[in-house]
Structure 1
Amino acid sequence: MSASGEGIAMTMDKQRQYVSWFREAWPYIQGHRGSTFVIVIPGEVIANRLVLDNVLQDISLLHGLGIKLVIVPGTHIQIDALLRERGQEPCYIGAYRVTDSNALEASMEAAGKILVDIEAKLSRGPMVPVLRRHGGAARAGLSVAGGNFLSAKRRGVVNGVDFGATGEVKKLDIVRIKERLDCNCIVILSNLGYSSSGDVLNCNTYEVATSCATALTADKLLCLVDGPIVDEKNSVLKFMTLEQADQAIRTQTSQSYTAADYVKAVAGAKYSISLGLDSFSNGSPMASSHTDQNSGFAIGGRERQSRTHLSELAAAVFACRGGVTRVHLLDCTVEGAILLEFYTRDGIGTMISNDMYEGTRSATSSDILGIQQLLRPLEEHGILVHRSKQQASSSSILFLWRIAAFAVAPECRGHGQGDSLLDYIERKAARTGLEKLFLLTTRTADWFVHRGFSECTIDDLPAAKRSKVNLSRGSKYYMKILLSQCNGILRITR
């Protein structure tokens, strides 16, 4: 092949990849349009100019795809640097900064500079060649809105410590924030609040962000971090249910002031769910959430700087318990992290959710009777083959390669429970190293085809399992190739 031929082939491959990605992303583009996201950009990210530039480019793209955005920029790194330049060490007590007159001056200087930098980058338009080819010479920059949305009160004297001009969230002007969002503006919410007496108060960025997300009942709260969230095996932690995350925080209560603050903030109530099939809740949350929509959760100080991300996890769980549907902890040193998280199936960050997979777990022997009750109507209508108690109890062990039975209780249908259950199965199968899922069906093929399964033949099944198939039912065979849980990622460096 000539050099020109190779160039054309490479171009065609690139075109195919682009078209394929766009088609795969379309359900997410459509699903997120009109949603409200609150995004925390911490001081560590703002200090890395290259990372910040990439993050703001992706935020601009989110806005262009119809997402309503509130940005809450952090300032603690910048404030600490300004204080040290002036010969003063920063002072933290727990999650809060002690804000004396010097720290307040540094806070206002840092917040003002960060606001201008973000506004400037979001005002950037497309390259001239793009405008020449596709037209549209009008102003291309985004509209950014700020203002005195945050009312604050002094933290005051706590345990004998005077926190000076440190503030706590009193109220957010959600009506005016929504007005700006509805006018197609990106709202930038500063951590500087204003008291009823006209004073400027330095508030905690995460307290402001969680307050805003819960008051808006945001669809997502996105907490950017500058490294991956990993488990005890050093693997990226992809997902935690609200109950799992709540329990993980509580195990650290004796060692962590953040965990202790979290337990206090949620009034000590554990987040629990009902798992019994005899319950009308069918896995819905049973514990009440904190109800004050103006309350937020502050994280910071020396503990947050330890980079364990327990602090961000606590803020995420607090927000979920306050009504935010999903919180994403996202390593933004990965090139295009925001786009990969929201517009690909598996994402690359850590998601905490108050709706997805709640109540989902592997069955135990105590569940067998309930499983039989759930399957019986489907067996009577010939949709599923009858299984004895022994067969039902062994299915979860014997048929890891095949979805033996799939059913959702009638009162739970129409709310996405089936999709959540199937997604849970696929992720668990992929984590165990399986590459394919098989199923046999007589009457529900359309539902599974719509979710990525394709028809196959009995020859595609593992040889050892073919003899166990009941051919008299005339079932059709379907297969789905599982996506790998390991992604090659490109990290951004300074």
Structure 2
Amino acid sequence: MTAPALTPPLTPADPDVHAQFVQWFREVAPYVHAFRGKTFVVAFGGELVQAGALSVLIQDLSLLSALGVRLVLVHGSRPQVNEQLRLKGIDFQFDRGLHITDAAALECAKEAAGEIRLDIEAAFSQGLPNTPMSHAHIRVVSGNFITARPVGVIDGIDYRHTGLVRKVDAEALQFVINHGSIALLSPLGFSPTGEAFNLAMEELATSVAVALRAEKLIFLTDAPSIMDPEGNVDTELARDDADALVATGDIDPGTTVVLRHASRAVKLGVARAHLIPFDMDGGVLLEIFTHDGVGTMVVEDLLDDLRPATIDDVGAIVQLIEPLETDGTLVRRGRGSIERDVEKFSVAEHDGVIFGCVALYPYPAEKMAEMACLTVNSQWQGTGEGDKLLRHVESRARAVGITRLFVLTTRTAHWFIKRGFVPASVSDLPKDKQSHYDRNRNSQVFIKRLG
């Protein structure tokens, strides 16, 4: 048997590759810190398994587990159930929506769920050297965590063994994930009388995420992506907008089902719900560890937030501005200085990660103010975030009666000129600022009148 090929090691002849790797690793660090110990519910249909995408997904989920994310997996099995029905000569096929599950269909659902569960457990048991699963040692725990009830009779139709979630044993699931295991749920539930019921994967995943107060509910779907008017993936939807989109009936039925459940989860307390195409390699990692992601995230309110800084933000501000202080773009301030002036700072935050900051130092006697430390993390540069920070600080300045905003810069003159700042001299600065002007830096002065 041929040994697996190894990825060629990076060598000193690859400085650009090294730099890119180091930069990427540093940029994802805030997300790693933010999500360690948080609970993610990841849901996917049997279509993902059928498409052969399970092994790659398991590798990515194993990485999340290694980073301290607590995982609950919920799988579907619709195509596998349909295949069992076909093999048994039963002239019936499930699609999305509510369907009758008779005794024969229930047996097919049990067989399909058992087969997929074993495939998932086997995938998590991989440990070949030189693969992403090497040294993983991940335990997967399944069980009777879900109590179900029958859908019953609707409009005179008895739905038999089709069920709804009655109760989630959240305490037992918490015990499993708190002790380092991954919980795995099949789309079946059981009644107190011992009956089994066929459940919709989307409803099950939503109920579990709500019961566990999960940080994220992630749907990996084969449904078409949600697009904005410009034809790009709509990466973020407020819950009200998601509901309005569902109400239009203008989106694919599969997307409608998933989006409706994502909205319901957020309404009931799940922090974020994501719709990610399962055919994108590394889609979960890209969605979680990049600013815009690759799918659609549903939130109660849009996540980009500009707010006053607090003492708890000092560490993040220091981390943002230190590289620019090192290369001479910004004046060195030191942590103590930022702590003393923290009320002068505003921060830009996305999904719990601070990616930008700006400070406003007023000189009320001259109705002037200095804008300082305008900084955006390199991952967010070029996306208009700097302009948002500028508009925010201009608004703050106007609110306290400032009529002229000035900046001192050594390297970014053109950026400010394009945004209405005009060259000025040190003598145009407030008297107190003139006395503290560092002539060794020889910073250029730019002033903008605020209308």
State the TM-score, normalized to the length of structure 1.
Answer: 0.62
Sort the Cα spacing of 1:225 and 1:431 in 2 relative to 1 into closer, same or farther, 3 A: farther
Q: Is 2:78–2:94's contact at 8 Å kept on the other side of the alignment?
A: no
Deviations 1:289-310 (A, max 9, x none): xxxxxxxxxxxxxx74xx4x12
**Residue 40 (str. 1) matches residue 74 (str. 2):** no
Which of 308, 315, 319 is the matching residue for 2:261?
315
- In structure 2, stretches of 5+ residues that fail to align are 1-9, 309-342, 358-375, 397-408, 438-442, 446-451
1:240 is aligned to 237
Mark the CA change 1:64 to 1:472 in structure 2 (over 3 Å): closer, same or farther: same
Structure 1 pair 463–94 and aligned structure 2 pair: CA distance change class (3 A): closer
- For 2:429, what is the secondary structure of its paired residue? helix
Change in 2 beyond 3 A, CA 1:53/1:194: same
User: 1:121 offset after TM fit, Å?
Assistant: 0.4
Q: Distance in 1 between matches of 2:20 and 2:383?
A: 26
- Tell me how far apart the structure 2 counterparts of residues 19 and 162 of structure 1 sit (CA, whole Å): 59
- Aligned with residue 334 of structure 1, among 265, 280, 293: 280
* Paired letter, 1:317: S
Mapped partners of 2:61, 2:104: distance in 1: 33
Could you tell me which amino acid in structure 2 is paired with residue 180 of structure 1?
Answer: V
Q: What is the one-letter code of the residue matched to 2:20?
A: Q
In structure 2, C-alpha distance between the alignment counterparts of 1:234 and 1:459, rounded to whole Å: 32
Contact kept, 8 Å, 2:236 with 2:302, in 1: the verdict is: no
Alignment-derived partner of residue 299 in structure 1: none
Structure 1 window deviating more from structure 2 (84-93 vs 206-215): it is: 84-93
Q: Does 1:175 align with 2:171?
A: yes
Identity of counterpart residues, as a percentage?
Answer: 32
Deviation string 1:241-282 (CA, Å, 9 cap, x unpaired) is 112112222333xx89xxxxxxxxxxxxxxxxxxxxxxxxxx
Partner deviation per Cα, 1:424-447 (whole Å, 9 max, x = no partner):
999xxx9998696484979x9xxx
- Tell me if structure 2 keeps the 8 A contact 1:25–1:344: yes
**Letter matched to residue 182 of structure 1:** N
State the structure with bigger RCO (CA 8 A, min sep 6), 1 or 2: 1
Match of 2:126 in 1: 124
Instruction: Please identify the structure whose Cα radius of gyration is greater.
Output: 2
- Given residue 28 of structure 1, which amino acid in structure 2 is its aligned partner? Y
Alignment CA distance shift 1:180-1:432 (3 Å): closer
Closer, same or farther: CA 347–463 of 1 in aligned 2, 3 Å:
closer
Rounded Cα–Cα distance in structure 1 between residues aligned with 2:444 and 2:138: 50
Q: Which residue of 2 aligns with 1:13?
A: 16
Say which of 60, 63, 66 aligns to 2:65: 63
Q: Deviations over 1:143-196 (max 9, x none)?
A: 111100011111121111111111111111111000001110000011111111
Shift of residue 104, structure 1, vs aligned partner: 0.6
Q: CA deviation at 1:236?
A: 0.8
Check 1:14–1:166 CA distance in 2 against 1; reply closer, same or farther (3 A cut).
same
Select 2:184's aligned residue among 178, 181, 188: 188
Q: Residue 208 of structure 2 aligns to which amino acid in structure 1?
A: C
In the alignment, the residues of structure 2 paired with residue 56 and residue 178 of structure 1 have an alpha-carbon distance, to the nearest angstrom, of: 21
The one-letter code of the counterpart of 1:332 is F
Distance 1:243 1:359 in 2: 18
CA change 1:216–1:23 in 2 (3 A) is same
Alignment check: 8 A CA contact 1:439 1:477 kept: no
**What's 1:465 paired with?**
420
Letter in 2 for 1:462: I
Check 1:14–1:100 CA distance in 2 against 1; reply closer, same or farther (3 A cut). Answer: same
Distance 2:176 2:182 in 1: 8
Q: Deviations over 1:15-72 (max 9, x none)?
A: 22222211111111111100000010112112111x2211111001000000000000
Residues 424, 250 of structure 1: CA spacing in aligned structure 2 closer, same or farther, 3 A cutoff? farther
1:206 partner letter: E
Change (3 A) 1:23 1:222: same
Q: 1:233/1:326 Cα in 2 relative to 1: closer, same or farther (>3 Å)?
A: same
Are residues 417 and 246 of structure 1, via their aligned partners in 2, closer, same or farther at CA, if it must alter by over 3 Å? Answer: farther
Instruction: Give the direction of change, closer, same or farther, for the CA distance of 1:56–1:455 in structure 2 (3 Å limit).
Output: farther
The count of residues paired between Structure 1 and Structure 2 equals 349
Per the alignment, residue 406 of structure 2 pairs with none
CA change 1:244–1:86 in 2 (3 A) is same
Higher strand share: 2
* Alpha carbons 1:457, 1:477 under 8 Å: kept: no
| Aligned partner letter, 1:29 | V
In 1: Cα distance, 2:124 partner to 2:178 partner: 18
**Where in structure 1 are there 5+ consecutive unaligned residues?**
1-6, 132-136, 257-302, 361-373, 375-412, 445-453, 479-494
